[in-house]
């Protein structure tokens, strides 16, 4: 046999041997412990929250309905108005599968009083039409810019 042939056979032999190795069970050795104890209650699985969906979550009456709702209910904080503070507060929240708004948070604020008012406003939103993927209702994120402007 030539050196090349011998080398080739050894490479093939070692590659099969490496693939064939499996963990060896040794009697009397304890098995690895489970992640959780059997007595502990299991937490329900957390459902995924989507940033994008086939059909996005929608306020009753669409974008126009949301604009009317915001215009009728927003209250410019006196502190911010007196100081001529303006800006756009970005609020992120989750629209649940049942359409309820949950976990609103300011992701980009302007002033504490404006941030607080934007959160208050979002917490008063009615039930939305939830987002859908392949016709199935899903939880989704919604980012809402709330603009404060003194006219």
Q: SS3 string of 69-105?
A: HHHHHCCCCHHHHHCCCCEEEEEEEEECCCCCEEEEE
Q: What local confidence, expressed as pLDDT, does residue 46 receive? A: 78
Does 13 reside within a domain?
A: no
pTM of the model: 0.69
Q: Which domain holds residue 115?
A: 49-148
Which CATH number characterizes residue 68's domain?
A: 3.30.1150
Structural domain count of the chain:
1
Tell me: the pLDDT tens digits for 19-29?
A: 333 333 444 54
């Amino acid at each position: 046999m030539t050196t090349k042939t011998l080398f080739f056979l050894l490479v093939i032999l070692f590659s099969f041997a490496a693939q064939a190795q499996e963990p060896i069970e040794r009697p009397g050795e304890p098995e690895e412990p489970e992640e959780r104890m059997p007595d502990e209650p299991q937490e329900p699985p957390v459902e995924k929250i989507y940033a994008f969906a086939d059909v996005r979550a929608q306020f009753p009456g669409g974008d126009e309905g949301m604009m009317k709702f915001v215009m009728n209910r927003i209250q410019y904080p006196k502190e911010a108005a007196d100081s001529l503070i303006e800006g756009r507060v970005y609020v992120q929240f989750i629209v649940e599968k049942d359409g309820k708004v949950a976990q609103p948070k300011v992701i980009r604020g302007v002033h504490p009083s404006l941030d607080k008012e934007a959160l208050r406003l979002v917490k008063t939103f009615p039930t939305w039409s939830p987002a859908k993927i392949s016709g199935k209702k899903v939880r989704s994120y919604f980012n809402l810019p709330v603009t404060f402007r003194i006219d």
